[in-house]
Amino acid sequence: MSRAARLLELLQAFRRYKRPVSGAALAGELGVSLRTIYRDIETLKAQGAAIDGEAGVGFVLKPGFMLPPLMFSEDEIEALVLGSRWVAERTDQPLGQAARNALVKIAAVLPPDLKAGLDESTLMVGPGASLAAGESELPVIRDAIRRQRKLTISYADVNGNCTDRVIWPVALAFFDQARVIVAWCELRNDFRHFRADRILGLNVEAIGYPQRRAVLMKQWQEKVGLHLRKRRDGSDV
């Protein structure tokens, strides 16, 4: 591994840790000596990386630093291209355009040999279901999730029965055949999943919902995990 590649790997390792990490742990992860880790940390500091800590205590990288020039492996390049193509084909128009714009910005700062990998990628996205008419509100839903705003929706179930709901949207899942909102439903007093193509009407409320989105997301994940464990345990009987 070249020194430049090792420095990039060290940065990536730092970003995986939210708390101070020991030099020994970093050395073990990268497969180098502790002395090399300390030397590389000093090199990153000299290039502007805000790394706090000391030997025997641990180190932490403050966010915001990018090692120039921006470097990616061939697999990472292909992942970026494939991911942006998928988003462009499977999501709403603003998000698809954002994916294309992001790829253009990445290409602008890549070295020429890596930039060629963006243009020459052979990974393609196959055809999928087009957005239904009711899914034109996806940009509004995404904005409500970001701003933690309640939504009032008119929602039709699988049988076509319509109810009015007030929901707290926390996530939006993109499947090939459907786009699904994860939300707390005030009517059911529990988490529910709503297909975007069954929303007949939508209004964003002026006030936010009372809990933080991150807390709600964690609660939903715990509920889903419990449900999966019960299903697994039941199948083992």
Q: How far apart are CA 157 and CA 63, in angstroms?
A: 44
SS3 assignment, position 62: coil
- Percent of the chain scoring above 70 in pLDDT: 92
Judged by average pLDDT, the poorest of 60-74, 171-185, 186-200 is 60-74
User: What is the mean pLDDT of the segment spanning 218-227?
Assistant: 91
Q: What is the pLDDT of residues 78-92, one digit of tens each?
A: 888 899 989 988 888
- Tell me the chain's radius of gyration from C-alpha atoms: 23
Amino acid, res. 14 = F
pLDDT of residue 34: 92
pLDDT value for 209: 96
Mean of per-residue pLDDT scores for the chain: 86
Q: Is the pLDDT of residue 237 over 50?
A: no
Q: Per-residue confidence at 192, pLDDT binned at 50, 70, 90? A: very high
What is residue 49's three-state secondary structure?
coil
pLDDT digits (tens, 9 = 90+) for 46-70: 878 888 888 888 999 887 766 555 5
What is 3-61's CATH topology?
Arc Repressor Mutant, subunit A (1.10.10)
Confidence tier at 124 by pLDDT (50, 70, 90): confident
Question: What gap in Å lies between CA 215 and CA 103, rounded to an integer?
Answer: 32
Look-up of token digits 């880790």: 37
Q: Are 205 and 147 in contact (CB under 8 A)?
A: no
- The answer to whether 185 and 167 have CB atoms below 8 angstroms apart is yes
CB atoms within 10 A of CB 40: 21
First to last CA, the chain: 50
The gap from C-alpha 130 to its chain's centroid, in whole angstroms, comes to: 23
